[in-house]
Amino acid sequence: MSSGSAPPPATGAWQAGDPPGRREWIAGPGPLSLEAGGVLPGFELAYETWGEPNADASNAVLVEHALTGDSHAAGPAGHGHPSPGWWDGLIGPGRALDTDEYFVVAPNVLGGCQGSTGPSSLDPDGKHWGSRFPEITVRDQVHAETALADALGVRRWAAVLGGSMGGMRALEWAAGLPDRVAALLVLAAPAAASAEQIAWAAPQLHAITGDPGWRGGDYYDAPPGEGPHRGLGVARRIAHTTYRSEPELAERFGRRPQGDEDPLRGGRFAVESYLDHHADKLVRRFDAGSYLCLTRSMNTHDVGRDRGGVGAALARVTARTVVAGVDSDRLYPVYQSRRLAAGIPGSGETAVLSSPYGHDSFLIETGQISGLVKELLG
């Protein structure tokens, strides 16, 4: 927590009664059977849209967010939206996702914490789901999103786009429901989570569950400062380090101290202050239960599960496809994108974003990504 700031809330989740912002909601048509077994008795998905659907909604584009993203892909921060749109440079009139031509839809993922059903949501009895929220997978999340497509009258998406966790869902859409996806863009995401990616996630999960404020996942009624914000902050520090590249951190921070702090006398290095800042921001806008739930869904991501393996699953994809990696990404390295592209019929060579910003380049390099989107939709 930043020195002098107010103590963080038990959860940064959007809660009923908070300003809705641009969100709209759909309710699932009934119970959702889950891949790991069990049933979610009902669910809601929050979503935002830009542009207008044409007569048959064939101009609809689905945009899938990453782990700590949400439905607010475009637009400023404001009441109901703690952060500005994470792909604001791509969505709008005259932009790559031209809202004068396309109907752009961005849902908050099932298990998330910005309006969609997740651990911080209330169950049918009016209690926070907390520790009772079931295990969900990327496939379950896409299953839930089919209800959104149906509610909006979208039989087939003109394109499904996503990076990182969003790329996993985009790929699952194209492999699991190939007749509903005309074009596909997968950025900085693999066909299946690797051992190293699962290993990077493990200490993040332990940091959260080892926080005394975690309370087994049932902390939602805790007063400010007594939730699992310390564990969530440690998780964010670990994750954010993997999101950037070593050369960028070396150039931006080197071994410089933070201001007049002296590391020899317990002060921080500048890079530590940078990580502290990102941790403090996240604990005020996100939820530890959702972080755990969604990270586990990323760990279990495997498009080939129960489909005869990755190769057989990728062969199901019929969408016109662009796969892109980032040359400085140490979390989802380019070789994974190359393997993915090689397995999808007709996808061609992997596009490589050249950037010093590591994995986060899929959020930052909007100029390069705009070129890929125009290529895909052209």
Domains annotated for the chain, with CATH where assigned, are 24-194+302-377 (3.40.50.1820), 197-296 (1.10.1740.110)
Candidates 307, 23, 267, 66; CA nearest to 163 is 66
pLDDT for 5: 81
Bridge-partner residues for 160, per DSSP? 62, 184
Other C-beta atoms closer than 10 Å to the C-beta of 334 total: 17
pLDDT mean over 199-207: 98
Element (H, E) at 207: helix 195-209
74 pLDDT tier (thresholds 50, 70, 90): very high
pLDDT mean over 136-149: 98
pLDDT mean over 134-141: 98
pLDDT for 378: 86
- DSSP single-letter state for residue 258: S
pLDDT for 316: 98
pLDDT for 348: 86
3 pLDDT tier (thresholds 50, 70, 90): very low
pLDDT for 2: 47
Report whether pLDDT(255) > 80.
yes
Q: Is the pTM of this model over 0.95?
A: yes
In angstroms, the CA 167 to CA 341 distance is 13
Mean of the per-residue pLDDT values of the chain: 97
Long-range Cβ contacts of 208-214 (<8 Å, 24+ apart): 208/232, 208/235, 208/288, 208/291, 208/292, 209/292, 211/288, 213/10, 214/288
Residues with catalytic roles: 164, 329, 359
Question: Using CB atoms within 10 A of its CB, is residue 37 exposed (0-12), middle (13-18) or buried (19+)?
Answer: exposed
Residue 128: helix, strand or coil by DSSP? strand
Token representation of residue 146:
């089919």
Candidates 170, 136, 168; CA nearest to 293 is 136
Torsion (CA) 312, 314, 320, 321 in degrees, nearest 10: -160
For 279-329, write each residue's pLDDT tens digit. 999 999 999 999 999 999 999 999 999 999 999 999 999 999 999 999 999
Q: Between β-strands 103-107 and 44-50, what pairing exists: parallel, antiparallel or unpaired? A: antiparallel
